[in-house]
Structure 1
Amino acid sequence: MSTHSQDQAWAARAAAGDRDAFRAIYRAHVRPVYWIAHGILGSAPDAEDVAQETFTVAWRKLPGLQLAGESLLPWLATICRFQAANRLRVLRRDRDNTANALDDALPDTVSVEDQVISLALAERIAAEVGLLDEIDREIFRLCAVEGYAYQVAAAELGVSHAVVRNRLSRVRTRLRGAVQEVRDA
């Protein structure tokens, strides 16, 4: 099943209240959403918060979503950008109201160009992950997305530690190439 049709199936089930389907959506898209937020905010803790807020909003909005054969990622990226912009406003307001804690590194605006690149990057990564064979996709999900140790992922998948390490290395190399293509474009 393609990533887009899988997204459609999960979205339909999640819209009907299926929490397992929503967890599948989360696992499939949390990393690209996080990196979009991080690109806007430049802070890992704020990006984590915004990623969580994005999925909270998505859960509430799923019942009204009309998904016409598309990935959920562009929709999630849009929610993420709005949540990140809101977070920036709050951070700027707090910065402006706190004379002792000025943070000059805080961006004053959200760059539309950077966000188009972030969305293109997230879509390219999602597409590239969708092209992986099933075992590579599972290794990537377990290790890169969910943070499993190689040995734990190997045990769950019934393969050796070396298989996980080697395949994940190849997947990361492939994804770095995809990222570089988007940056060079």
Structure 2
Amino acid sequence: MPNEPRLAAIRLRRNTGGGGPPVTPSCATGADPDELARMRRLVELLDSIATGDREAFTEFYRATSHRVFGLALRILRSHAAAEEITQEVYLQAWSLAAGYDRKLSSPMGWLMMLTHRRAVDRVRREQSASTRDIAFGQANLGRDHDVVAEEVGQLLDEQSVLDCLDTLTAIQRQAVALAYYSGRTYSEVADHLEVPLPTIKSRIRDGLKRLENCLTGSDTA
């Protein structure tokens, strides 16, 4: 049996002189008549948008924005970023509507092209910015920030230790201070105080335990 849709398309080309075909009837292409009607309507809306018709733009947006947003979301995987790209695409569509060529793509295909380009550009910019930030941070910020943080933390720790030293007994405070602030060994502390080494170790151990309890807020003494 002859292929009727193919024959219909051939007859249509003959009747139109063999030029570039306009929108072909659904019987020739097998396309959904409703879809063809929607496409024709979008073309009409773009023509109107090119003249500055805001109502046409609103209708065009409502008819197509869900697909633009869906593509942007698939690429960016962020609702906020996809919403921004969608807005950018329609601003671009408003300004470029006069340049739309129905011979090159359908209105929806044109919008998808604009969306894909903008979304991909967004991904590339963010990746590039992230790479630059990481490199800059590693080269310039990390070390300085760490030094400052350590110095501030050290000052706070030292003040806390000084406050907690007052909770020690006089002999505990003396032994701890000699060992940790004068840099002496336990043996040197014992010789300096003329106290047996086991006694010094006991004093320092008890003093450090009390300091720990004070610094952690668990001192019950």
Length-normalised TM-score, structure 1: 0.50
Aligned to 2:134, what secondary structure does the other structure show?
Answer: coil
Counterpart contact for 1:8–1:67, Cα < 8 Å: yes
CA distance in 2, matches of 1:63, 1:88: 28
What is residue 67 of structure 1 aligned with on the other side? 102
Aligned to 2:113, what secondary structure does the other structure show?
Answer: helix
- Greater alpha carbon shift after TM alignment, 11-20 vs 91-100: 91-100
- Greater alpha carbon shift after TM alignment, 24-33 vs 68-77: 68-77
Aligned to 2:71, what secondary structure does the other structure show?
Answer: helix
Q: Quick one: which of 75, 84, 89 aligns to 2:119?
A: 84
CA distance in 1, matches of 2:121, 2:55: 29
Length-normalised TM-score, structure 2: 0.42
Counterpart contact for 1:8–1:70, Cα < 8 Å: no
- The offset of 1:95, in angstroms, is 1.2
CA distance in 1, matches of 2:46, 2:134: 45
CA distance in 1, matches of 2:94, 2:75: 22
What is residue 39 of structure 1 aligned with on the other side? 74
1:132-174 CA-partner distances (Å, limit 9, x unpaired): xxxxxxxxxxxxxxxxxxxxxxxxxxxxxxxxxxxxxxxxxxx
The higher relative CO (CA closer than 8 Å, separation ≥ 6) is in: 1
What is residue 24 of structure 1 aligned with on the other side? 59
Unpaired runs of at least 5, structure 1: 101-185
What is residue 39 of structure 2 aligned with on the other side? 4
- The offset of 1:97, in angstroms, is 2.3
Which one has a bigger Cα radius of gyration? 2
CA distance in 2, matches of 1:59, 1:84: 18
1:8-44 CA-partner distances (Å, limit 9, x unpaired): 2111111111011011111111010001011111111
CA RMSD of aligned residues (A): 2.0
- The offset of 1:99, in angstroms, is 2.8
Equivalent residue pairs, number: 100
CA distance in 1, matches of 2:38, 2:106: 7
- Residue 97 (structure 1) aligned with residue 132 (structure 2): yes
- Greater alpha carbon shift after TM alignment, 63-72 vs 20-29: 63-72
CA distance in 2, matches of 1:69, 1:99: 42
Match of 2:122, as an amino acid?
R
CA distance in 2, matches of 1:69, 1:90: 29
- The offset of 1:66, in angstroms, is 1.6
Q: Counterparts of 1:134-149 in structure 2 under 5 Å? A: none
Change (3 A) 1:90 1:18: same
Aligned to 1:85, what secondary structure does the other structure show?
Answer: helix
Q: Counterparts of 1:123-162 in structure 2 under 5 Å? A: none
Sequence identity percentage: 27
1:31-72 CA-partner distances (Å, limit 9, x unpaired): 100010111111111111111111111111101112249641
